[in-house]
Amino acid sequence: MRVTIAGASGFVGKNLIEKISRNHSIKAISRESKSSNIENLKWIAADLYSLNSTIEALSDTDVAIYLVHSMMPSARLFQGNFEDTDILLADNFARACKKNNVKQIIYLGGLVPEKNISKHLESRREVEDVLKHSDIPVTVLRAGMVVGDGGSSFEILKNLVLNLPAMVLPKWTQSTTQVIYIDDLISSITKSIGDQDFFNKTLDVVNGESLTYEKLIRKTAEHFHKKKLLIPVPVNYTSFSKLWVKIFGEADYELVAPLIDSLVCDLPTSIPDPLLEDCIKYTKYEDMLQMIHREKINRKFAKRIKQDKSVRSIQRLPNPKKLTNDEISKKYVSWLPKKFRFLINVSEENDIINFNLSNLKTPLLQLQRVNETEEIDRVKFHIIGGLLSETKNTGWLEFRQVSDGRYTLSSIHEFYPSLPWYIYKLSQAPVHAWVMYSFGKFLSQKTT
């Protein structure tokens, strides 16, 4: 089958490619094109923030596999959160799949607790919802920590064990979890490809072993022959945990923080689904550890992009009156000069919108409305000039609705400010964040 993998350059993606490349024709999506010695593999560069780029990447696809998580910012300055980014990227992916008549979507999400769900795990569940609204058969495979050399969560755990002579054990280390070995997860994904028994199914990829995070720490320390002083403390404070996991786990804070928040949740302890029983070979964490190399791997976690002046901003907007995107965009254009009375003027002619300071002829920003007849759930404006924009052909502002209007998003992409970077960060950037926050409050009013 023709399989396209988004998130192919990650830990799971690389292992999946190795497993299925003999039996399927694979397109692997990454930010940059790569060469490959594998006959059935083609790496393609795509920007998943761009709907058109995503549509092009998913052409000639039977099965689309979605392994994307967006906890790391994708621009030098990012205003927003990973939850809103997740649903925007998933919406682009779902729309692109529908445009290309994809036959099946496979999504790797996270185990969902019955109570006290974290933002990280709730975001995974929201992505499921967005993909299912594509009306394409979706297979959702939910997993906890994936054990294997190079897996982000396991490498953080291993680095903590190797780097710390003693560890404090907050109350969250008593939370229950389940882990899965990378080979078993890959077997589960592989089996679901093109199999109609998996269509429109949500399955927990588990091995049935009940563990706490304290047990994981103790068993990992024993495996690597590290004697640890473990000190239980009767608090559930996560801020300090994030700090020491960042330092001694050797990972970025943006990656660590959502993961730590999820550790306070008790994940379900369940047995493998009958559809996946033959895929689960490792039923004990100790067995998985026997497959792990003892040397310390120099794991290169994803880092914040710093090489250019790009700016991205994504906000979820309240929409209690169920306004259309066109109505929201028009309200934004009319609301802004009222909010900045005597300071900002807005004029519109032939789909060109100019934002001017009072008595200044040259616009601060100039936008052009893009008429996309097929995209009834999105209104898009290209940033085509103005004193505050360094470029005339890269950025865009959009308003979109996701999952039949369940979520409303406003976002700016690929914007390059003309102001010197640190002046921009201290002036235009916080003003924009405040403006979008204020516009959200305006939309939430009953009299809007």
Same domain? For 255 and 316 the reply is no
Q: Where among 235, 255, 290 does a domain terminate?
A: 290
Highest mean pLDDT pick, 34-48, 186-200, 225-239, 327-341 = 186-200
Same domain? For 31 and 114 the reply is yes
Residue 285: closest CA among 232, 228, 213, 342: 213
Beta strands (DSSP E) in 80-155 are 104-110, 138-143, 145-147
Whole-angstrom distance, CA of residue 123 vs CA of residue 105: 18
Q: Where among 258, 290, 322 does a domain terminate?
A: 290
| Residue 304 within any structural domain of the chain | no
Same domain? For 254 and 334 the reply is no
**Is the pLDDT higher at 192 or at 257?**
192
DSSP 417: B
Whole-angstrom distance, CA of residue 395 vs CA of residue 310: 9
Same domain? For 77 and 177 the reply is yes
Please check whether residue 147 is in contact with residue 292, taking contact to mean a CB–CB distance below 8 angstroms: yes
| Residue 384 within any structural domain of the chain | yes
Query: pLDDT tens, 365-410?
Result: 999 998 765 656 789 999 999 999 999 988 999 999 999 889 999 9
Beta-strand relationship, 396-402 and 407-415: antiparallel
Same domain? For 347 and 284 the reply is no
Percentage of residues of the chain with pLDDT beyond 90: 59
| Residue 301 within any structural domain of the chain | no
Beta-strand relationship, 2-6 and 63-66: parallel
Same domain? For 232 and 319 the reply is no
Same domain? For 192 and 326 the reply is no
Same domain? For 203 and 60 the reply is yes
Same domain? For 285 and 315 the reply is no
CA dist 372 → 67, 366, 382, 426 (Å):
28, 19, 12, 35
| Residue 254 within any structural domain of the chain | yes
Whole-angstrom distance, CA of residue 348 vs CA of residue 336: 13
Whole-angstrom distance, CA of residue 285 vs CA of residue 270: 15
126: CATH: 3.40.50.720
Please check whether residue 141 is in contact with residue 199, taking contact to mean a CB–CB distance below 8 angstroms: no
Whole-angstrom distance, CA of residue 153 vs CA of residue 277: 24
440 pLDDT higher than 70: yes
Query: pLDDT tens, 162-184?
Result: 888 888 888 888 888 899 999 99
Same domain? For 316 and 282 the reply is no
| Residue 299 within any structural domain of the chain | no
Task: Give the range among 188-192, 292-296, 366-370, 439-443 with minimum mean pLDDT.
Answer: 292-296
437: CATH: 3.30.530.20
330 pLDDT higher than 90: yes
Please check whether residue 137 is in contact with residue 203, taking contact to mean a CB–CB distance below 8 angstroms: no
Please check whether residue 403 is in contact with residue 125, taking contact to mean a CB–CB distance below 8 angstroms: no
Q: What is the pLDDT of residue 54?
A: 96
| Residue 285 within any structural domain of the chain | yes
Same domain? For 286 and 318 the reply is no
**Is the pLDDT higher at 348 or at 248?**
348
Q: Which helix (H) or strand (E) holds 366?
A: strand 365-370
Please check whether residue 405 is in contact with residue 433, taking contact to mean a CB–CB distance below 8 angstroms: no
Burial annotation 242-272 (CB, 10 A radius, 16+ → b, else e) = beebbebbbbbebbbbbbbbbbbbbbbeeeb
| Residue 168 within any structural domain of the chain | yes
Q: What is the pLDDT of residue 229?
A: 87
Same domain? For 256 and 331 the reply is no
299 pLDDT higher than 60: no
| Residue 305 within any structural domain of the chain | no
Strand order, beta sheet including 104-110: 41-45, 25-30, 2-6, 63-66, 104-110, 138-143, 201-204
pTM: 0.91
Total domains in the fold of the chain: 2
Full residue range of the structural domain in which residue 434 is found: 311-444
* Residue that is written with structure tokens 């404090």 in the block: 168
Whole-angstrom distance, CA of residue 398 vs CA of residue 381: 6
DSSP 368: E
Query: pLDDT tens, 97-156?
Result: 999 999 999 999 999 887 888 888 889 999 999 999 999 999 999 999 999 988 888 888
